[in-house]
């Protein structure tokens, strides 16, 4: 459920370290999201402000989704991906750092003056979309290279990684909800004195940057898996099947030969044994050349 079959011998030696570094970033997802959500709901969406309407919040979200889709498609164009070489190992680090920059810029857009909101939020969405698009290829290659045994397939790596991340997210989500309940019962509004909450947010982003750096240095090396057990089993099956196949082939040839022999009649055998008689019988009734050729007398 949480580990691939045959762990640790069935995966690359870097698997454990890589997953621990990756889960460090996963553990910070919900706390970071809470900080950004509080800033957006208070300053951008205007919760508690009678001059704001839900329609304005919906329009802002539609605008952000549209910008994200356009930039994501542009970054995924073949000419862009080939020019930047998304398959390079360095994009495991670059895509993570771009994502962090996009998150920080998003928070800054919510806390900055209203005149700077749209320029900053467009930059934030662009960085996040570029990060997601550029990191997809190398992350897929990483998952493909973990297996060192035929019993570990790509689906095993994907499922176990998702289960590990889900366990961490459930834990951090419970802690985040408990923190929000604490704020509600205590009547505290962290954004009125945002120093400490911003300090915590910066520390979490630093942990995420360290997580990407650790994952970059523990990426698996491309290695062909050994399929000797499968090849041996295949050869054994061939050896077991080959004698039986040869026996069936001999039986088929014997049946064909006996069928041909049965079709030969005794008279035919006699004629074949006496070629002269056969030639004589076949030539009977045919006119001779002397009888058919015209004779010219001078």
One-character DSSP codes across 246-262: HHHHHHHHHHHHHHHHH
Do 62 and 189 share a structural domain?
A: yes
Do 122 and 270 share a structural domain?
A: no
Do 173 and 25 share a structural domain?
A: yes
C-beta separation of 2 from 167 below 8 A = yes
Domain end among 198, 225, 252: 225
- Which band of pLDDT confidence, cut at 50, 70 and 90, is reported for residue 226? very low
Ramachandran sector of residue 145 (left: φ over 0; alpha: ψ -120 to 50; beta: rest): alpha
Do 242 and 204 share a structural domain?
A: no
Residue found under tokens 């994502």? 99
- The tens digit of pLDDT for each residue in 157-187 reads 999 999 999 999 999 999 999 999 998 898 8
Whether 250 has a pLDDT exceeding 80, the answer reads no
pLDDT value for 126 = 95
CA angle 263, 264, 267 (to 5 degrees): 135
Domain end among 205, 225, 245: 225
Q: What is the CATH number of the domain that holds 123?
A: 1.20.1250
Host domain of residue 279: 229-283
Whether 117 has a pLDDT exceeding 80, the answer reads yes
Whether 193 has a pLDDT exceeding 90, the answer reads no
Does residue 297 form part of some domain? no
| H/E run at residue 213 | helix 195-216
Do 32 and 58 share a structural domain?
A: yes
Do 278 and 170 share a structural domain?
A: no
Coil, strand or helix at 131: helix
Does residue 295 form part of some domain? no
Do 168 and 250 share a structural domain?
A: no
Does residue 56 form part of some domain? yes
Bridge partners (DSSP) listed for residue 11: 147
If one counts the domains in the chain, the total is 2
Of 29, 36, 214, 212, nearest in space to 124 by CA: 36
Whether 292 has a pLDDT exceeding 60, the answer reads no
Do 273 and 140 share a structural domain?
A: no
Cα–Cα distance between 218 and 212 in angstroms, integer?
Answer: 10
* DSSP classification of residue 149: S
Alpha helices by DSSP H, 28-90 = 29-39, 54-75, 78-84
- The tens digit of pLDDT for each residue in 122-141 reads 999 999 999 999 999 999 99
Lowest mean pLDDT among 73-77, 92-96, 103-107, 274-278: 274-278
Whether 227 has a pLDDT exceeding 90, the answer reads no
pTM above 0.75, yes or no: no
């Amino acid at each position: 459920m949480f580990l691939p079959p045959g762990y640790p011998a069935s995966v690359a030696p870097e698997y454990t370290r890589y997953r621990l570094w990756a889960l460090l970033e996963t553990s910070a997802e919900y706390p970071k999201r809470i900080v950004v959500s509080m800033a957006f709901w208070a300053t951008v969406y205007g919760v508690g402000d009678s001059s704001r309407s839900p329609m304005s919040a919906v329009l802002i979200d539609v605008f952000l989704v549209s910008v994200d889709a356009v930039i994501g498609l542009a970054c995924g164009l073949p000419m862009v991906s080939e020019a930047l070489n998304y398959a390079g190992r360095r994009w495991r680090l670059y895509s993570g750092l771009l994502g962090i920059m996009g998150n920080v810029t998003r928070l800054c857009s919510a806390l900055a003056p209203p005149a700077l909101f749209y320029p900053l939020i467009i930059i934030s969405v662009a960085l996040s979309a570029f990060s997601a698009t550029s990191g997809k290829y190398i992350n897929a290659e990483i998952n493909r290279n973990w297996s060192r045994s035929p019993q570990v397939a790509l689906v095993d790596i994907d499922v176990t990684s998702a289960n590990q991340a889900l366990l961490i997210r459930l834990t951090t989500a419970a802690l985040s909800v408990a923190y929000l309940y604490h704020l509600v019962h205590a009547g505290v509004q962290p954004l009125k004195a945002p120093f400490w909450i911003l300090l915590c947010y910066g520390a979490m982003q630093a942990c995420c940057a360290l997580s990407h750096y650790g994952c970059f240095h523990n990426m698996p090396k491309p290695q062909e898996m050994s399929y000797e057990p499968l090849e041996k089993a295949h050869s054994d099956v061939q050896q077991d099947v080959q004698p039986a196949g040869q026996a069936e082939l001999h039986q088929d040839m014997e049946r064909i030969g006996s069928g041909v022999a049965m079709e030969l009649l005794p008279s035919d055998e006699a004629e074949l044994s006496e070629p002269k008689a056969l030639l004589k019988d076949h030539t009977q009734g045919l006119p001779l050349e002397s009888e058919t050729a015209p004779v010219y007398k001078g």
